[in-house]
Amino acid sequence: MRAVTVTPGVADSLELVEDQPEPAPEEGAVLVEALAVGICGTDHEIISGQYGEAPPGERRLVIGHESLGRVLEDPTGTLQPGDLVAGIVRHPDPVPCPNCAVGEWDMCRNGRYTEHGIKALPGFARERWRIQPRFAVPLDRSLGQVGMLLEPTSIVAKAWDHIERIGHRAEWQPQTVLVTGAGPIGLLAALLASQRGLAVHVLDLATSGPKPDLVRALGATYHSVPVDQLDFEPDVVVECTGAPSVVLDVMYKAAPNGIVCLAGVSSGGRSIELDAGALNRALVLENNVVFGSVNANRRHWDIAAEALRRADQLWLGSLISRRVPVSGYADAYASGPDDIKVVLEFAV
Ligand SMILES: [Zn+2]
């Protein structure tokens, strides 16, 4: 069968292979026909050779971690043939650490977890894949065109779960949210904020393209000014750019008792000047919390599936800039200037 693969660590080794073996039964009881995979920055970084790890004993890695498929068979009876599913990306480490032992693989302590399409497990960009029922997340039938957004939505569902847990350390009545960065993660973070009834502001550099309208369609306010020029102090910030100056600015900008969730990954290697004492003062004297958030566990995936079911399907569909059939995979993995989310389609 066909699969999109790379040789990990070798730049530009992306290749559509025709002779990928059928998924092994050990991969899980649920056999799934791939419908589509979403493409993100992680895929681009793997393709450029920055990281990625083939399964033990193999040279190539099937990529793809934002999955949408249709169940072909599930002898365990957990899912029915025809059900829409997405596969959870991360599997717990084998030790397991205290967090993985209770299903919190998103909080793995030892880094020995594995991830489909990224780290030692084959990805979902192949015509058929298998998965254990506990890693298969059912999707409402209405999500047949957009269900591959579940993986990025799980990331922001975890971020919101932790924001709320932190908020409830004291009386908490948040009103205003600032999301920095209007890529897929930022837009989905804004969607979840709007579903919570909060006043949502999204900040991004873009002044043209689809981002401003996508934000306004949520009933949110779009800004393309520097953070320090905003005329309000957000109760919650979800930082999705990873841009060092934005990261620092939002820490100062948060309201008293504010919560800053860092969900963007910086590349590092560039220094900017920082008055660490002033930043410490700003955080301590206002009880502010700054925390990082990555990945998601089964609970977050289920919360995300419900959030997508409740969302406007047309709005979700408009996040998808291009849908490319698998035969045009090279085009799908080349990023365009106005791309929000590009999707590689298998069976349609
Ligand atoms: Zn672990």
Alpha-carbon distance of 270 to 52, in angstroms, equals 24
**Nearby residues of 279 by Cβ (< 8 Å), 6 or more positions away:** 248, 251, 252
CA of 294 to the centre of ligand 1 (A): 14
Predicted pLDDT of residue 267: 85
CA of 107 to the centre of ligand 1 (A): 7
Give the helix ranges, DSSP H, for the chain: 41-47, 98-101, 150-167, 184-195, 211-216, 244-253, 276-284, 298-310, 313-318, 329-332
Structure tokens at 75: 């002898």
Predicted pLDDT of residue 348: 59
Predicted pLDDT of residue 151: 98
What does each C-alpha distance from 13 to 4, 16, 84, 124 come to in angstroms? Answer: 10, 10, 31, 18
Predicted pLDDT of residue 338: 86
Structure tokens at 144: 């047949």
Parts of the chain with a pLDDT under 50: none
CA of 262 to the centre of ligand 1 (A): 21
CA of 66 to the centre of ligand 1 (A): 22
Instruction: Give which of 149, 182, 184, 156 is closest to 37, Cα–Cα.
Output: 149
CA of 190 to the centre of ligand 1 (A): 30
Predicted pLDDT of residue 336: 86
Has this prediction a pTM greater than 0.95? yes
CA of 343 to the centre of ligand 1 (A): 30
Amino acid at 26: E
The residues with which 178 forms a beta bridge, in sequence order, are 201, 237
DSSP 173: -
CA of 124 to the centre of ligand 1 (A): 22
Predicted pLDDT of residue 337: 84
